[in-house]
Amino acid sequence: MRRIARLAGVGEGDHVVEIGAGLGSLTLALAETGASVVAVEIDHRLVSVLSEVVAGRDVVVVTGDAASLEWPDVLERAPVWRLVANLPYNVATPLVLDLLRDVPQIESMLVMVQREAGERLAAGAGDNAVGIPSMIVAYHGVARIVGRVPASVFVPRPKVESVLVSIDRHRTPPVAASLSEIEPILRKAYGQRRKMLRRSLAGVIEAAVFAAAGVDPMARPQDLSLAQWGALAEQRRRDS
């Protein structure tokens, strides 16, 4: 838990929101750094115990589902927050993407997720795991796998490996095109990821747009970086 707090860069004066606080092991490690913590827990059965564990600390316990919280209200105490979370596989990717899109007060994240989900979040062009989530994350920030968590530290021991993924939000988007312009192209291309772009994007991106954007139409979607997707989207807008 202290390693996670350290990797998150949490310290005196920081404001941290923790999702999935459980019985408070990580919550205590975060509070020990001198940070102010908001601990979010969905399970009503755990909240009373969690409240007892963190009593006397600079910790506010919030009961609720992170996917549907009113985040401006939860984070009203400060303008800038760090997020630390241990996320279940089935909610990890959509929750991270939603928070990146909708909660700009969260400037950095350190999330523990199943290895496959973490690899997708942090993947870049040419990586086997790269996909739409990878590019959406890259639009909002820089993601890196900063640690691996063996199954042996959990009780009961799971059958999967976990990783720690760090995401630092960009101050401004790294490409000129907006995400709303890039995402439809991503979804069209990755809907047929085995095909070359000239086939999967037929009727969406013209040959002249590929040429002007400097993108090889013979490439496949996993070969392209965010900068190249941005160039396609920007050139498409110019030619429309």
Write the DSSP string, the chain.
Answer: -HHHHHHTT--TT-EEEEE--TTSHHHHHHHHTT-EEEEEE--HHHHHHHHHHTTTSSEEEEES-TTT--HHHHTTT-S-EEEEEE--HHHHHHHHHHHHHH-TTEEEEEEEEEHHHHHHHH--TT-TT-SHHHHHHHHHEEEEEEEEE-GGGSSSPPSS-EEEEEEEE-SS-SSSS-HHHHHHHHHHHHTTTTS-HHHHTTTTS-HHHHHHHT--TTS-GGG--HHHHHHHHHHHHHH-
Tell me the CATH architecture of domain 179-239. Orthogonal Bundle (1.10)
The yes or no reply on domain 2-169 and CATH 3.40.50.150 is yes
Instruction: Give, for all 240 residues of the chain, the pLDDT tens digit.
Output: 889 999 999 999 999 999 999 999 999 999 999 999 999 999 999 999 999 999 999 999 999 999 999 999 999 999 999 999 999 888 999 999 999 999 999 999 999 999 999 999 999 999 999 999 999 999 999 999 999 988 777 777 777 899 999 999 999 999 999 999 999 999 999 999 999 999 999 999 999 999 999 999 999 999 999 999 999 999 999 998
Domain spans of the chain? 2-169, 179-239
Q: pTM for this structure?
A: 0.93
Give how far Cα 209 sits from Cα of 135, 183, 197, 233, Å: 20, 17, 12, 9
